[in-house]
Structure 1
Amino acid sequence: MVDFEIQENHSLHQTGGLSSKRLVVRRGRAFKVTLMLDGRPWEPSSQRLALQISLGDMSAKMLVNFTDKWFDTDRWSARVYPGDLRRRSITIQVFAPVRSSVGLYQMLVHIDDAQERRSFLVGTFVLLCNPWLEEDPVYMPLDVLLDEYIRSDYGVVYMGTDVNVVQRPWSFGQYEPDVLEACLQLLQVSPQHLSNKHKDYVLRADPVYLSRVMCAMVNSSDDMGVLEGKWHGTYKDGVGPTEWSGSADILHRWLASKGKPVRYGQCWVFASVLCTVMRVLGIPSRVVTVFNAAHDTDGNLVVDEFYSSTAEKLTLSKDSVWNFHVWVECWMQRPDLGLGFDGWQVVDPTPQEKSAGTYRCGPCPVAAIRGRCLRTPYDAAFLYASVDADIVRKMVRSGRVVSKTTDSEWVGRAIFTKSVGSETAEDLTESYKKIKVRQEQLMGKLTSKSTTLSHPFHHSAVSCLQSGTLSGPTEEDGSSLDVSIAVDGEPTAGESIDLTVTLTNKLAHHRVLLEHLNAQLKEFNRSPQKSFWKSHKEVTVPPFEVFTLQHSIPASEYESFLSDDDIVKVSVVIKDVNTKERVLATQDFNISTPKISIQVEGGDTIKVKKEHTAVVSFTNTFNKGLSSAVLTVEGYGLLQGKQDARLSVLQPGEKMEKKVSIMASTKGTKMLSATLSHGGSSKVLSRSFHKVSVNS
């Protein structure tokens, strides 16, 4: 028998909570095991004691030594703790080399004497990367960063638009039961492992390889991966992407289904699950949101957009720009690339384009993206376009392009991640690109600007040769008219949307201008639908005048079909009646919906296995009643299934409430979520999340 000294080892190896039934340790650091000999005791004077460690067909055998010397860091080794060896138990220190492969190992004990060998399979243990160890390629020197990027089971995902950023909390859940088992199983069913087990086991020592494998395994497009993606239509045969609030539920469903993909995910779900997996494996990771992220299908670093002469966005291009896109950054050294590329690496599990024949992306150094090193492995050109492509907007009339302008500031307007130790946003934009637009105004809409932590190990972007000369349309010179469109204040459901169109006449004479303004509803990753509101106006602008036009879209124009995650695109075309010159301006924004209140009686920190009450309520702030109102509450790890309250009509100013009893069986960060739908529609009007901390 063996005592793996789980409690002590987990404390020393920073693995507490990852498993209650397995020993989980980190490479490059010794761990303790105690052997209890049920039969004849070990006689060190006449017998040899050896341990054998195996991962698949890889095996290392080590004699257990009596020595005070430190371990040979390049190989597996073992030594006996000083003590009384006449007892029928022996305590041994085992050392795993810092470049050991990640996985589930077997341990055997061999006792040899002159007559026989006795061998015992004593159990298994899990070996992970060690970001606390300087020799490990995933090393991070600051404990405050390790708290955030390894230990923390809670994060924030940024969504919406750069005009009105939405914060969504996420429970990474790496301390939930069997999440570690799911991560280990992902390695075992990956195509790399199934096609060549030995090669896979050897390569698992490399965090670059691990991140590439796991990136592909989080989506199910090529393998037995975790999540199936879906970006439009109904989600009745699964769970809608917006309904998830944590990774553990998703990984549990995948593990229980024996590799059948969980339905459904979108970019922030894929990224958040990958962040969980990488933190479990011991690779520091964080979730990052790019606002106005380009999807450059033809690789020319230019995204084409088409508009009608009356400012309606048309679906004529395969290129697209998502209002936001979420991926993961993982921290590691890149000896395969040379100096200057260590640090944060982009790893994107959302299935968009194939990389070496598989739906995955990265790891690509952030420094390579900023330095425009487009040939850097992996997928640098695609990721560069995501944050810094040019938008070429073409206006079409009667099948002919009548004007064309280039916008070099739209893509990658803001890049955010959760700040270290707080729930404010850290602005990463300057890490990816040279700032073209100041970000203070954008950050101000979200929260007070957080101070970016200066990392002593941060590598500045390296200078790179570009992969050939890249050219694209340039903005037309000599335009005599400037046009911009802005949303006034924070658009809120139930209220009118106020817009300001600003015109600047650069000529020395009056101009008669025709304004075409319209609004279209859209999803964050798709082209907009047909216009739901239009305005046409003729104005005369004096010479060298800055002229403003005020517009208001009544709530009645949009509230009947709006859901909590819809986005509005407003576009304006100004046409000079005499010269026929046309100028386009556009803006996307999301509408804030009434909030659902979630309160836990006694506070948001609760005890394990103790019942608490949560009160969930919604007040109708609209000027009309909401028919068939349904308030639904759920919380993985806190509630069994869903609970709801229903009203035939929720009158203006009326509040509906649902009390639920919650109880957690494990420690960690849990999430309560609530939705409000009405009118018998599956569309959700409002959605809220609430973090609950569970202590023993």
Structure 2
Amino acid sequence: MLSEGWAKVYITVEGDSGDIERCCEKKDSHMEDLSLQYVNLEESENLERHRTEGFSSSKALVVRRGAPFRVSLQLEDRTFHPKTDFLRIKVMLGSLYVIIPVTSSKKVSSSSWNAYIDPEGLNLQSPSIFICSPASASVGCYRFQLCVFTQESQKAYAIGKFILLCNPWCREDAVYVPFEDQREEYVQNDSGLLFMGTPMNLVSRPWSFDQYEPGVLEACLNLLQVSPWHQKNTRLDYLNRNNPVYISRVVSAMINSEDDLGVLKGNWSDDFKQGVHPSMWTGSGDILKQWAQSGYSPVKYGQCWVFAAVMCTVMRVLGIPCRVVTNFNSAHDTNANLVIEEYYTETGQKLNVSKDSIWNFHVWVECYMTRRDLGPGMDGWQVLDPTPQERSGGEFCCGPAPVKAIKDRRIDLLYDIPFVYAEVNADVLSVIVSKGRVISYSKDTEKVGSLILTKAIGFPIHQSITGDYKHIKSPTSSLTSRRSTMSGDSTLSRGSSNGVSVSLTLDRAQVAGEPVCFTVKVINRQNVAKKMKVHFNAQAKEYNHGPSDAFWETHGVIKLAPMEAKVVHQQILPAEYAHVLGDNLINLAVVVEDMDSQERVLASEEFNIASPHLTVQVADSIVPNKVQTASVSFTNPFSHPVSGVLTVAGAGLIQGKVNFRVLSLCPGGRMEQHITFVPSMVGTKMLQASLSLTNISSTIRGFKMVSVHGA
């Protein structure tokens, strides 16, 4: 292993002059001196060979471990003679270093540093040397020197720097992924989708990971350098950076700023005046560069999807395959009893009294790696959560927790498996209270972790990975579930007692500007007539908070004959919910009360009202370094005029961001904005647009995947 190799060299070899003396046998015969004129790092060839072309703006050569890279030497006065001339490469990471003899054999070991001279370049004035690191080398920015030994002299030349990343293309690397489409998606893709909202009304938020934007690579490496682990013990930190388990825990802790000089400051209040509202971020690049340029002051502000998306960027930059994952109805079980208690009044208003909580959605990341520390069977995707919730090993971080261990409830293994297990498996106990006492309760064993999604490989759609986390009784795809819900044949929530059962169903996915239509079905399960009070209640809430006071409620009375079922249709008009639009969700509840027995039954559901979309269109044929045109259009679906600021961005397509003022747009009015851009990179890129409305707390978004083909 690399750490052992470093340790051996560090102990037995000391001092630059001593290095040269021990690496050379002196001869007595005379020969003309061998001098180095310059070194060519063959950047274009090496970047292509190591699939790091996107990092071409870096001041250092960027390569991946476990694979050779080539440097060419330009010698002065005479050519290289392999029988009398000797070359050594000294590679340095901080105070650690290793000296590599340059041989003529192309046989290399994946467990040690190697260097060999290109046989085709022998006896030339421009020989080429291939340098190969172990597949377990430490990630970081290295310095390296060339030591030239002849019969007459010994010289050392500083060649420069190279940045070494993990290598998912290398079988011996702990982050190896065997399929090219997965490597393209989880390492190289610089854009993606974050899924939010609710299972029946998914919101696909475009995100630019920006890993190839200037300054992002350097910021990610600086993140490792300013971490408490590096500051506390630099040498040990460098040694441990050979292990993706260690790297991922450091990054998980450094994305939030609770314990350190982390990247993001979390804020779940209603006051964002001293920073940026989390929903306004569209990519990781602005966040990481602002953090680095500020001298590592935390960027304000982040919430779970921002934390996760920025961590995904850092991990992909470092070469560790990573994807963003959304868990819908994610439990935070503070007392570790795997039960989340939710309390309601007798008229259906949800109370903020429980220390436990359920976030409508929670976003984390998965990274792909082998778990040699846990033994066989735990390799593959690992949960990592940079959102600060609970401490792990004294730090606000979470993971890596093997997804396989979560599914099998292997709570004896590292790291943080019980916490993640509860997030996807806890039961929900809904309790109706009146005057301080419990008058009714019901348990839901299916709500938590009801749907777990990530972006599909190669396509801008979602993929359900729920079955990776849980043993599902009757698995159905998220798309099928969504269709059945939208068509109105899926009961969302139901409650029952010995005498009465009630169910609440949203008739369709809710869209801004349309009424919220829902159906309540009440069934008398006894052979006696009943007179029932029916209480309806709607409260606005943020995805991670309890709801505020009711913004809509209505009450009524129904009569039920023995064994009779009745259906009640209700709607909330756009004017009644307009002031709670934006990123809010709605907690909708119905309580039916038997007027004779005072027995009460609750059914509830939380849903989101989807915003309309921007339409982004581009030409079919896009080539780099040529002016292209796109259009962004929007039709106002609201019953009142809107205005705002349109922002267009796209990593690899547009430098920075372009803003346009959108003046008052009347109901039904349409706007269209044309944008010119010059693509700088080949590949599939995301052109994204967002319209921040000034008179509504809402942001309208849209995106288009753009294929940039080589000229």
Instruction: Report the Cα distance in structure 2 between the residues aligned to 1:14 and 1:676, rounded to whole angstroms.
Output: 37
Structure 2 letter corresponding to 1:301:
L
Q: 1:657 to 1:351 in 2, by over 3 A?
A: same
CA deviation profile, 1:188-218 (whole Å, cap 9, x unmatched): 1111111101111111111101111111111
Helix, strand or coil at the partner of 1:404 = strand
Structure 2 letter corresponding to 1:194:
Q
CA deviation profile, 1:384-443 (whole Å, cap 9, x unmatched): 111111111121111222222221111111001111222222111111112257544664
Match of 1:654 in 2: 669
Helix, strand or coil at the partner of 1:621 = coil
Match of 1:614 in 2: 630
Shift of 1:534: 0.7
Match of 1:463 in 2: none
Alpha-carbon contact 1:176-1:666 (below 8 Å) kept: no
Q: 1:493 to 1:418 in 2, by over 3 A?
A: same
Match of 2:701 in 1: 687
Instruction: Report the Cα distance in structure 2 between the residues aligned to 1:423 and 1:448, rounded to whole angstroms.
Output: 22
Match of 2:612 in 1: 594
Q: Which of the numbers 119, 124, 128 marks the counterpart of 1:82?
A: 119
Q: 1:635 to 1:446 in 2, by over 3 A?
A: farther
Shift of 1:362: 0.4
**1:316 maps onto 2:353 in alignment:** yes
Shift of 1:544: 2.6
Match of 1:141 in 2: 178
Instruction: Report the Cα distance in structure 2 between the residues aligned to 1:663 and 1:95, rounded to whole angstroms.
Output: 37
Shift of 1:266: 1.3
Q: Which of the numbers 674, 677, 681 marks the counterpart of 2:693?
A: 677
Alpha-carbon contact 2:495-2:501 (below 8 Å) kept: no
Alpha-carbon contact 1:170-1:671 (below 8 Å) kept: no
TM-score w.r.t. the length of structure 1 is 0.90
Q: Which of the numbers 554, 564, 567 marks the counterpart of 2:582?
A: 564
Structure 1 letter corresponding to 2:259:
D
Instruction: Report the Cα distance in structure 2 between the residues aligned to 1:211 and 1:336, rounded to whole angstroms.
Output: 14
Alpha-carbon contact 1:563-1:685 (below 8 Å) kept: no
CA deviation profile, 1:248-297 (whole Å, cap 9, x unmatched): 22222222223122222211111111111111211111111100111112
Q: 1:483 to 1:260 in 2, by over 3 A?
A: same
Structure 2 residues without counterparts, runs of 5 or longer:
1-37, 487-493
Match of 1:177 in 2: 214
Shift of 1:688: 3.1
Instruction: Report the Cα distance in structure 2 between the residues aligned to 1:479 and 1:334, rounded to whole angstroms.
Output: 51
Q: 1:541 to 1:441 in 2, by over 3 A?
A: farther
1:253-272 paired onto structure 2 within 5 Å: 253-272=290-309
Match of 2:72 in 1: 34
1:88-167 paired onto structure 2 within 5 Å: 88-167=125-204
Alpha-carbon contact 2:427-2:443 (below 8 Å) kept: yes
Shift of 1:588: 0.8
**1:516 maps onto 2:530 in alignment:** no
Alpha-carbon contact 1:33-1:92 (below 8 Å) kept: yes
Shift of 1:378: 0.9
Alpha-carbon contact 1:245-1:673 (below 8 Å) kept: no
Instruction: Report the Cα distance in structure 1 between the residues aligned to 2:137 and 2:485, rounded to whole angstroms.
Output: 44
1:264-663 paired onto structure 2 within 5 Å: 264-435=301-472, 439-440=476-477, 443-445=480-482, 479-559=498-578, 561-600=579-618, 602-603=619-620, 606-622=622-638, 624-626=639-641, 629-635=643-649, 637=651, 638=654, 641-647=657-663, 649-663=664-678
Instruction: Report the Cα distance in structure 2 between the residues aligned to 1:591 and 1:139, rounded to whole angstroms.
Output: 41
CA deviation profile, 1:664-690 (whole Å, cap 9, x unmatched): 4555624332214143x5x22533344
Helix, strand or coil at the partner of 1:210 = helix
Shift of 1:641: 4.7
Structure 2 letter corresponding to 1:64:
V
Shift of 1:320: 1.0
Alpha-carbon contact 2:207-2:282 (below 8 Å) kept: yes
Q: 1:527 to 1:476 in 2, by over 3 A?
A: closer
Instruction: Report the Cα distance in structure 2 between the residues aligned to 1:447 and 1:541, rounded to whole angstroms.
Output: 29
Instruction: Report the Cα distance in structure 2 between the residues aligned to 1:169 and 1:447, rounded to whole angstroms.
Output: 25
Instruction: Report the Cα distance in structure 2 between the residues aligned to 1:476 and 1:447, rounded to whole angstroms.
Output: 20
Helix, strand or coil at the partner of 1:521 = strand
Alpha-carbon contact 2:39-2:74 (below 8 Å) kept: yes
Shift of 1:383: 0.4
Shift of 1:39: 6.8
Helix, strand or coil at the partner of 1:2 = strand
Instruction: Report the Cα distance in structure 2 between the residues aligned to 1:275 and 1:118, rounded to whole angstroms.
Output: 44
Q: 1:693 to 1:175 in 2, by over 3 A?
A: farther
Helix, strand or coil at the partner of 1:317 = coil
Instruction: Report the Cα distance in structure 2 between the residues aligned to 1:532 and 1:553, rounded to whole angstroms.
Output: 10
Instruction: Report the Cα distance in structure 2 between the residues aligned to 1:262 and 1:521, rounded to whole angstroms.
Output: 28
Structure 1 letter corresponding to 2:90:
Q
Give me the identity figure in percent. 43
Instruction: Report the Cα distance in structure 2 between the residues aligned to 1:2 and 1:18, rounded to whole angstroms.
Output: 20
TM-score w.r.t. the length of structure 2 is 0.88
Helix, strand or coil at the partner of 1:222 = coil
Match of 2:19 in 1: none
Alpha-carbon contact 1:334-1:342 (below 8 Å) kept: yes
Report the RMSD for the aligned CA atoms in angstroms.
2.5
Alpha-carbon contact 2:364-2:383 (below 8 Å) kept: yes
Q: 1:104 to 1:448 in 2, by over 3 A?
A: farther
CA deviation profile, 1:87-136 (whole Å, cap 9, x unmatched): 33321121211111111111111123455421111111111112122221
Match of 1:51 in 2: 89
Alpha-carbon contact 1:171-1:671 (below 8 Å) kept: no
Aligned length: 662
Q: Which of the numbers 279, 296, 305 marks the counterpart of 1:242?
A: 279
Between 524-533 and 110-119, report the one with greater CA deviation: 110-119
Helix, strand or coil at the partner of 1:383 = helix
Alpha-carbon contact 1:226-1:251 (below 8 Å) kept: yes
Instruction: Report the Cα distance in structure 1 between the residues aligned to 2:475 and 2:564, rounded to whole angstroms.
Output: 26
Q: Which of the numbers 222, 235, 238 marks the counterpart of 1:201?
A: 238
Alpha-carbon contact 1:413-1:437 (below 8 Å) kept: no
Match of 1:66 in 2: 104
Structure 1 letter corresponding to 2:340:
V
Structure 2 letter corresponding to 1:365:
P
Instruction: Report the Cα distance in structure 1 between the residues aligned to 2:48 and 2:189, rounded to whole angstroms.
Output: 16
